[in-house]
Amino acid sequence: MRYLLISLFFISTQLLGQFRSNYTPTYKEAIEYYERIAADHPSKAKLETIGKTDSGKPLHYLVIDPKGEFSPTASDKNEQTVVMIMNGIHPGEACGINASISFALQKAAEPKGDVVYVIIPIYNVGGALNRNSTSRANQNGPEEYGFRGNAKNLDLNRDFVKADSKNAFAFTRLFQLWKPHILIDTHTTNGADYQPNITLLSPFPEKLFPMQSTFLKREFEPYLYDYMKEINDEMIPYVNFRGNTPEDGIYAFIDHPRYSSGYAALFNTIGFTLEAHMLKSFDQRVASTLNFIAAVDKFASERGEVIRKIKAIADKETKKQESFYTKWQVNTAIDSLEFPGYETTMSKSILSGAEFIEYDSTKPYRRLVPYYNEVIGFYRSVVPKSYLIPQGWSEVIARLEANDVEMTRFDSDTVVTVTAKYVSYYETAETPYEGHYLHKNTGVVERKEQIQFFAGDVLISTEQLARRYLANTLDPQSEDSFFNWNFFDSVLNQKEYFSSYLFEKTAGEILERDHMLRRTLELKKSKDPSFADDAKAQLKFVYENSKYYEKGHLRLPVFEIR
C-alpha cells in the first residue's frame, strides 16, 4: 500500500500537475511532454522518430540510457538490458500512456542501473487523434480517449505479422533495431468484474526457448506477482472466462504471433501484455500500471545479467533448432487458481427478459476456480536449410526485410531443384477479420521439382536469428502463416482452362498413350459412382493429370531446400 500511495502521490505532483485527475493527454500533449523530458535531461533521454504511421505522423520513441549513448550497439557493448514499453496500441486503454510519462520523468531524472528503456508514447497515433468519450462503453474514465482502430481502422494488436499498417512496419523496424530483452504492452481489459486492478498475460512455455521459459515461470513471473502483492496491489493472470462466470473456469489466451507478445516471442523477447481493469478508476489504473513497470524495472536491474545471458543463448540456439511448434491449443488439463472475485447474481433484462450476470462488488470472495492454463503445441514446423522466393512476391519480401531477415539475391538466372508445396486443403473464414478472409487447417502435398529462378529472386538461409519467425510465417501450415493471411491467394485460382468439346479428343489420345492414367481413371469410376456419372469431372480429371494442366496452380511461391 505504501508504494501505491507513493505512486499516486508521485503522479499527482509530477504528472497531474500537468494533467488533471481522470485525464489522459492528447497525442500532441503526450509528444510535448516527452520533448520536455528529453530537453530537460539531454544526457540521459533522447526522443526520436522512426518511419510513419498510417495517420501521416511519425512513430515517436524515447530512449532513456543511464550511460547516455542511445544506441543498440552501445547498449550491447555496455551490457545493458533493453526494456521496450509500448503504449496506446488501443488508445482508449490509456493508462499506460500516463504511467509511462510518469515513469520516464522519474527515470530520466535519476537513471540508475544497466537498463535502457525504449518507450513508445502512443503506438496507434491515428486512433489517438480520433478522440471521443463514448467508444469504451463500459470503461470507468478517463474523460476522453482515443479510438481502437488506427487511421486505416485496423486493430494494431492483430497486425504484427501481416503488417497491413505503416505503424506495424515502423514498430517492426524499431523492434529489430533494439532487439529488446523485454517488451511491455499496456492495455485496459474488457469483460468481467473482479478485485485486482491488473492482470498479466505472459508467454506460455512452448512459445519460448526452454531455458527462457523456465526462467520466466520460476523466477521472473513469481517475482512480479510477489512484488505486486507486497505493495498491496495484487495482480492475477489474464482473465479469459471459459463460460459466463469465474466458476466455469479461466481459459488460457493463446497469443499467436499476430499479437504483440506472440510476435516478441518469435525473437526470444519476453513479451508481457498488461491489462488494467476497466472498472477501477483511471487514476488507480495508471498507478497499478506504473507499479508493474516499476516491478519489471527492479527485476531487470537486479537480474539483468541473467536475462541477457539467457537471451544470448536462446538467440544462438534458435539459429540451429530443427523445428518449432507453430500451432497451439489449450489443453484439457485443469489446474486451479485462487480467484479474488465478486459474488454474482442473475438479473432479468428489461430489454429482452433474458437473464444476465451482475457482479456485487460489496461481496468479495477468494475461491479456487478451474484454471485451464496449459497450452500445448500440436503442429511442429520443420525448418528447411533454405527458402527461395521469386521476387514478384514483393509484399512478403518487404515484411521479411523489415524483420531483419538476412537474404541474398540470385545474380543470374538459375534452375534449382527444390521441394515445392501444393495446397491440398484449406478452409476460409466466411466473415472478414482485420481486412482478411483468413485461411485455416491448411494442408499441403510436396513435390521435388526443378524451378527456374531469375536474377533478383531471393534465397534465405535459415541459419539465422529470424529462424522461428520464418517457420511461423513461411510454413503455410503455421497458424499465422503468410498463406493463411491471404498473401498467396492468387495461386488458388487456375489461370488457364480448356474447352470441353476440344479437349474430349485430346483426352482420348492421352488415355490411349497413358495406360497408368487410364487404369487410375477406371478405378476411380468404379469406386465413386457420382464420378462415374459425371462426364465433366472425368474430363477434368484427365486434364489435371496431363501436361496441359498449369504447373503453378495451388503451388506456393515459397520453395525449400531441405
* Residue ranges in contact with Zn ion by CB under 5 A: 90, 93, 187
| CB closer to Zn ion, 182 vs 201 | 201
Q: Kindly state the smallest distance separating residue 93's Cβ from Zn ion, in Å.
A: 5
The identity of residue 409, as a single letter, is R
Q: Kindly state the smallest distance separating residue 561's Cβ from Zn ion, in Å.
A: 41
| CB closer to Zn ion, 93 vs 479 | 93
Indicate the residue whose CB is closest to Zn ion.
Answer: 187
| CB closer to Zn ion, 280 vs 311 | 280
| CB closer to Zn ion, 88 vs 384 | 88
- Residues 158, 160, 163, 169, CA torsion sign: positive
| CB closer to Zn ion, 179 vs 187 | 187
Q: What is the DSSP letter of 216?
A: I
| CB closer to Zn ion, 46 vs 187 | 187
Nearest to 85 by CA among 223, 195, 200, 185: 185
In angstroms, the CA 132 to CA 289 distance is: 22
For 388, other C-beta atoms within 10 Å of its C-beta total 22
Cell numbers placing 225 = 506477482
Q: Kindly state the smallest distance separating residue 185's Cβ from Zn ion, in Å.
A: 8
Q: Kindly state the smallest distance separating residue 17's Cβ from Zn ion, in Å.
A: 28
| CB closer to Zn ion, 54 vs 155 | 155
Q: How far is CA 482 from CA 174, 377, 474, 514, in A?
A: 22, 19, 6, 38
Q: Kindly state the smallest distance separating residue 149's Cβ from Zn ion, in Å.
A: 12
Q: Kindly state the smallest distance separating residue 273's Cβ from Zn ion, in Å.
A: 8
Q: What is the DSSP letter of 383?
A: P
In angstroms, the CA 504 to CA 404 distance is: 52
**CB–CB of 313/210 below 8 Å?**
no
Nearest to 555 by CA among 427, 413, 447, 393: 447
Nearest to 476 by CA among 508, 510, 509, 442: 442
The identity of residue 250, as a single letter, is I
In angstroms, the CA 158 to CA 161 distance is: 8
Q: Kindly state the smallest distance separating residue 435's Cβ from Zn ion, in Å.
A: 18
Nearest to 119 by CA among 163, 183, 170, 166: 183
